[in-house]
Structure 1
Amino acid sequence: VLTSAFRAFGGEELVKEYLNSLPGGFWTKFVIVMAVIFILGFFLDFIEIAVVVVPIVAPILLSDPSANITAVWLGVMIGLNIQTSFLTPPFGFA
């Protein structure tokens, strides 16, 4: 519901414009998105990140013509990132 409301009010377009305005192409977008997901992993559970953040950023990253990635690769990278953020001190159990 939150993602649908975010899209309805034009939030996805704002995120897309911000990420596309960054210099450096696809890899800059990818690093920024991974950093945001990493920080969110300190405070939010996997389900919240998967339901709220991934439907917003995945289409933006996958639609970049300079990116030679698949949805499976992006999903694996997001999953690894979330698991790493869960185990990182001071919030994790590491």
Structure 2
Amino acid sequence: MRLAFRCIDCGIIYLPPEGLAYSDGSPASPLRCTVHQVAARELGVADDPAAVAVALFVARQQADRTPGPEEQPVRPDVRPSWPAKTRRAASNRGGRSKYR
């Protein structure tokens, strides 16, 4: 299961490594993309543990979610291509009628 996160600084959606750790051993942030994570680390700003837990929970919920019946594509509006067969519908084709 691959988790996707949204950066709290710039709003982009990014995919960190699956184990939330880079190949050099440094941890990946579920709150910030790589660019903003490096900038926050240089400024000494740590990730809030509660915000990290919420980000992980939301990402897992989105990954496990399957589309429900309300999200199934709706059949497009299909209208008949032939003219109406009744006299009443055919009598008003010109727009004006003598009975108005």
TM-score under structure 2 length normalisation: 0.30
| Higher RCO (CA < 8 A, seq sep 6+) | 1
| Greater percentage in helix | 1
TM-score under structure 1 length normalisation: 0.31
Q: Which has the larger radius of gyration?
A: 2
